[in-house]
Structure formats: structure tokens, C-alpha cells
Amino acid sequence: MTKFEFKNQEELGSFLMDEVLTRQEAEMYLNMKKQSFPRSLKKEKIRPFKTSGKTQLFLKSDLRPYKEELETELKKYNPNHDE
């Protein structure tokens, strides 16, 4: 697990606003359909860093490699996607 250090409360607040995502925000960030997200969790392609009851929180930095993988796959199977 990555260790983060903050100089002050403002820096921490900025980090939380930019890097911590709810499940819904993570789905949007990954551009995934609501039905696909649970499969990725089950396959451990993505993992929440915090779970409390039904609430799951994700770090954007943890999701970034999977986002890149998804984008690569999309380009592979749909080369005209960006046009």
C-alpha cells in the first residue's frame, strides 16, 4: 500500500477531493457500465481501499493502471473509437 504524507490540513483536503472516489465516481472515472464494475471487483482488477457497510472508497491512483488497460483494450477491439 502506498504511503501518503501531507504538510498541512489543506494539502490533505485537496488530496481527498482529487484522489478519493466513491464507487459511483470510480465507475465514471473508468467509464464502466454499472453492471461491469462488480465483475471487475470480483476478478480483483480493482479494489476499494476502504469499505464500510455498503460504502466503498477507491484511490484514483489505484484505478489508473486499470483505466489504461481498459483504454488499450478498447482501442484494440475498436480502433476508430477516438475518431
Q: What is the pLDDT of residues 22-38, one digit of tens each?
A: 999 999 999 998 899 99
pLDDT tens, residue by residue, 39-78:
999 999 999 999 999 999 999 999 999 999 999 988 888 7
How many domains, in total, are found in the chain?
A: 1
Please check whether residue 1 lies inside any domain of the structure. no
Sheet holding 50-52, edge to edge: 20-22, 55-59, 50-52
Better-predicted residue by pLDDT, 60 or 83: 60
- Rounded Cα distance, 24 and 27, in Å: 5
Please check whether residue 30 lies inside any domain of the structure. yes
- Rounded Cα distance, 63 and 46, in Å: 7
Please check whether residue 51 lies inside any domain of the structure. yes
| Confidence at residue 76, expressed as pLDDT on a 0 to 100 scale | 82
- Reply yes or no on whether the pLDDT at 1 is more than 90: no
What 62-66 contacts at long range (C-beta under 8 Å, 24+ apart), as own/partner pairs, is 63/21, 63/26, 63/29, 63/30, 66/30, 66/40
Backbone angles phi, psi at 76, to 5 degrees: -65, -45
C-alpha cell at 2: 502506498
Please check whether residue 25 lies inside any domain of the structure. yes
Please check whether residue 43 lies inside any domain of the structure. yes
Please check whether residue 24 lies inside any domain of the structure. yes
Please check whether residue 79 lies inside any domain of the structure. no
**Torsion angle of C-alpha atoms 37, 38, 41, 43, degrees rounded to 10:** -110
Please check whether residue 74 lies inside any domain of the structure. no
**pTM exceeds 0.85, yes or no:** no
Q: 35 lies in which domain range?
A: 18-64
